[in-house]
Structure 1
Amino acid sequence: MFIRALIVDDSALIRKVLSDILNQDPKISVIGTAVNGKDGLEKIKRLKPDVVLLDNIMPVLDGLKTLSHIMKEFPTPVVIVSALGERAEEITLTAFEYGAVEVIEKPAGILSQSMPEMAEEICRKVRTASKANLKNLGCMRDFESRSSEISPKKENWLRERSGSVRNVLAIGASTGGPRALEKLIGSLPADIPAAVLVVQHMPQGFTASLSKRLDEKSALRVKEAQEGDIVEEGTVLIAPGNYHMEISRNKVNGFEENTVHLSCGPKELGSRPSANVLFRSVASIYGSRVISLILTGMNCDGADGAEEVKKMGGKVIAEARSSCVIYGMPGEIVRRNLADLVLPLDKMAEEILKIVK
């Protein structure tokens, strides 16, 4: 059975490129295209697609307004097709809050050397989006209304270090992850005795905006990881898109520190960054002090790394099916009997604090 896709984009070239890519996948059929949001809404109502690919910047009716109408009137999995540029990343993250499932970077053209790899990613994300649990894609406004409850950040982030990091939360997420990360990280207090390291599957260029957004809505300091960043309690480091993040022991200003190393090594299970790479890295350094969390996402990234965490005495927590947009990654953890706890998203912060304190 075909996944019926509708493409909404004001560029004739992009509509043609995306149509050609998707129609080459034996599981996907493009049933129509639309030139702007207004046209798209009319065709969604008439054609009832399984997945909508939606441009984020269009005339007549833009992507965000179109997405809002889709989720209210014709709930359908939406993949945002985003061009990197001024405010594009910010708009895309807002689209996640409105209920978008995935984001793909807009193809540059049919002659791009990376087109075969990009085409596979586009098809994979459309296939994933078709399986999304829409009831778990709701807007984050209910969470945003609690922003006044967030405890203030500690004023002095250059505070003296109080010894080694006591615990490490290593988090892997994919489809539905930005929403899940906002809820989870936003629920953790500034004084949590743990460093937080995150792999979120996103294209290069979007993780910086995600980090900024999470920093604004969390008591913790959140930043996109850079080469040489020191792993510290109370700080969340997010792996940049297209880079694996590992932790290594180095001398910094005369002191031995655990620092970030970024690499463009081979993709693992089709992903870079990879949760497996991060989990294996922290397991070897922190051992029983690691708590690995596997959140919503397709396929099985994180399972092999979680196995290493378990071998070294660390704990593994999987998100419950009831709160996942896609149960693939947490489901693999459960299938392999690796989970110490299986919890819905709204129960995770409470259990994490019990463990680390």
Structure 2
Amino acid sequence: MEKVRVLVVDDSALVRKLLSTMLVCDPAIEVVGTAPDPLIAREKIKQLNPDVLTLDVEMPRMDGLTFLENLMRLRPMPVVMVSSLTEQGAEVTLRALELGAVDFFTKPSSDLASSFAAGAEEICAKVKAAARTRPRQRTVVRRLEVAPRLSADAVLPLSQGAGTRGGSPIIAIGASTGGTEAIRVVLESMPPDAPPIVITQHIPAAFSGPFAKRMDACSAMRVCEARDGQPIQPGHAYIAPGSQHLLVMWDGARHVCRLHDGPPVNRHKPSVDVLFRSMAASVGKATVAALLTGMGDDGARGLLELSQAGAPTLVQDEDSSVVWGMPGAAWKLGAAREMLPLDQIAARLLKLARLPIDSAQRAAAPVNG
């Protein structure tokens, strides 16, 4: 196999050296060059024709976002952002993912050398995964035309304590690489009265809060970072904090979010498998679950548990995924009853969640032998 050819772009000579050293330790990667700013990078891209770019955000002469936007318009290629673990770094990185970056790798503000060495396996895996992707333009979402749905609550609020366990549908979504944009597409397509949605996206702790705020700004639903004990309500979406597992539990009167500070599962915290398992136990066949783009196989076994509990399950197809690792693993495991392109997933989730539970099970009959 040919090596993945990488161009490292960063204004710090130390970071360029460390990243290059880490990357060339992998026999499948070749660092073909480095650049201290976007203008030099532009010339080296023409000369060296790299497969993947690692790109810093804050650089002289042109900031990384402006360069990335120009690059995706004029010469699309896979880009892995190298960002700082700060609130501002999170905002900029999320914007970079919107513009077309495949993934990101966070650099710490202190003890740079030892921290980068510890992350060598991670950055190499992300670069190799990025090399297998196709650069994509930002998906333009056409909002679903859904008529407002009113109930007796518009006249007389329901008294507290009504409802039965498992009676109301809850949508569960898991994602990783490419997931911030995939989740945006799903949430932008949802009406304000959609069933509640719980989401686990692999993301650092410093990024999950800003990510939730960005999703809240673009969705008709109310989107927030989940809090421990928070009631799960229709019209709301709850995103797992980047440092804790999100579980859905029954507290005797209603379903609530529970945060758990346990060890990483499948090397991830939060883990999609943890969310899906909690849903299988507490919501069961009233769950409607989707596993979106992502590297690895986190969520595949949890999706199978949900399917075995009678819940409708689906995965994103390979063509619309940035990385078809997680959904592909679930599909091969027989955990998903349907496979759909990203632009059809929101409508399907909504339809399944609004069907009577037994009808939803029939509508999502297995199609994967």
Quote the residue 1:176 is aligned against.
Answer: 178
Distance 2:243 2:64 in 1: 25
Matched, 1:52 2:68: no
Distance 2:233 2:345 in 1: 21
| Contact 1:104/1:203 (8 A) holds in 2 | no
Give TM-score scaled by structure 2 length: 0.86
Quote the residue 2:203 is aligned against.
Answer: 202
Distance 1:104 1:219 in 2: 30
Distance 1:278 1:32 in 2: 42
Quote the residue 1:294 is aligned against.
Answer: 291
AA partner of residue 243 (structure 1): Q
Cα separation, partners in 2 of 1:101 and 1:150, compared to 1, 3 Å: farther
Quote the residue 2:365 is aligned against.
Answer: none
Q: 1:186 aligns with which of 185, 188, 193?
A: 188
AA partner of residue 225 (structure 1): A
Which secondary structure state, in structure 1, belongs to the residue aligned with residue 192 of structure 2? coil
Distance 1:352 1:242 in 2: 27
Quote the residue 1:304 is aligned against.
Answer: 301
AA partner of residue 57 (structure 1): E
Give TM-score scaled by structure 1 length: 0.89
Cα separation, partners in 2 of 1:131 and 1:107, compared to 1, 3 Å: farther
1:1-357 matches, cutoff 5 A = 1-85=2-86, 87-108=88-109, 114-134=115-135, 137-140=136-139, 142-143=140-141, 163=163, 166-192=168-194, 194-250=195-251, 256-357=253-354
Cα separation, partners in 2 of 1:110 and 1:24, compared to 1, 3 Å: farther
Cα separation, partners in 2 of 1:86 and 1:176, compared to 1, 3 Å: closer
Distance 2:114 2:257 in 1: 30
* Range with bigger deviation, 84-93 or 168-177: 84-93
Residue identity (%):
40
Larger Rg: 2
Deviations 1:133-174 (A, max 9, x none): 32xx2124x33xx5798999x9x9xx8666356111111111
Distance 2:114 2:17 in 1: 18
| Contact 1:50/1:130 (8 A) holds in 2 | yes
Superposition RMSD in Å: 2.5
Distance 2:264 2:221 in 1: 30
Q: Shift of the alpha carbon at 1:219?
A: 0.8
Q: Shift of the alpha carbon at 1:265?
A: 2.2
| Contact 1:45/1:74 (8 A) holds in 2 | no
Which secondary structure state, in structure 2, belongs to the residue aligned with residue 88 of structure 1? helix
Quote the residue 2:360 is aligned against.
Answer: none
* Range with bigger deviation, 164-173 or 207-216: 164-173
| Contact 2:82/2:106 (8 A) holds in 1 | yes
| Contact 2:144/2:189 (8 A) holds in 1 | no
Q: Shift of the alpha carbon at 1:109?
A: 5.3
Distance 1:286 1:239 in 2: 18
Deviations 1:294-346 (A, max 9, x none): 11112211111011101211111111122111111111122122221111111
AA partner of residue 163 (structure 1): G
